[in-house]
Structure 1
């Protein structure tokens, strides 16, 4: 289940939890929260950053084979040969 971050729409109102923001684990098929579960004041969902893996070097043939890929090389007659 993903974690979503929420914060009060109006920080002057609301409980201490939604004033500074809170995280909540919810299923993806549920609609986003519109009100704080504690004080029932309006909240908005924050957009958070995410991390993607970075590959700093190209994968070698041995790395690709270890990962389970089939390596093919095209020959001059148009056929492919398994490495």
Structure 2
């Protein structure tokens, strides 16, 4: 389930939770919140960053084998040979 961040549209009217912002884990199938669950004031969804894996070097055949993958190489006759 993804985590969504929300903050009050008007910080002066919101409760302490929505004034400084809060996070909720919600299924993708549910629509975004329109009001704070505590004070019922309007909130807006914040756009946040996400993590991606960082590959520092190209993967080699030995790295792939160590990870449990089967490495195949195509030969001139159209067949694949296991390395």
TM-score category of the 2 structures, normalised to the smaller one:
0.7 to 0.9
How far is the alpha carbon of 1:34 from its aligned partner? 0.3
Q: Give the SS at the match of 2:18.
A: helix
- Residues in 2 aligned to 1:6 and 1:58: alpha-carbon distance in whole angstroms: 38
- Residues in 1 aligned to 2:13 and 2:5: alpha-carbon distance in whole angstroms: 18
- Residues in 1 aligned to 2:75 and 2:30: alpha-carbon distance in whole angstroms: 52
- Structure 2 residues not aligned, in runs of 5+: none
**Structure 1 residue 49 and structure 2 residue 40: aligned?**
no
How far is the alpha carbon of 1:50 from its aligned partner? 0.4
- Structure 1 residues not aligned, in runs of 5+: none
Task: Tell me which residue corresponds to 2:11.
Answer: 11
**Pairing 1:2-81 to 2, within 5 Å after superposition:** 2-81=2-81
Provide the alpha-carbon RMSD of the alignment.
1.4
- Residues in 2 aligned to 1:76 and 1:39: alpha-carbon distance in whole angstroms: 70
Tell me the matched-pair count.
Answer: 83
With normalisation by structure 1, the TM-score equals: 0.87
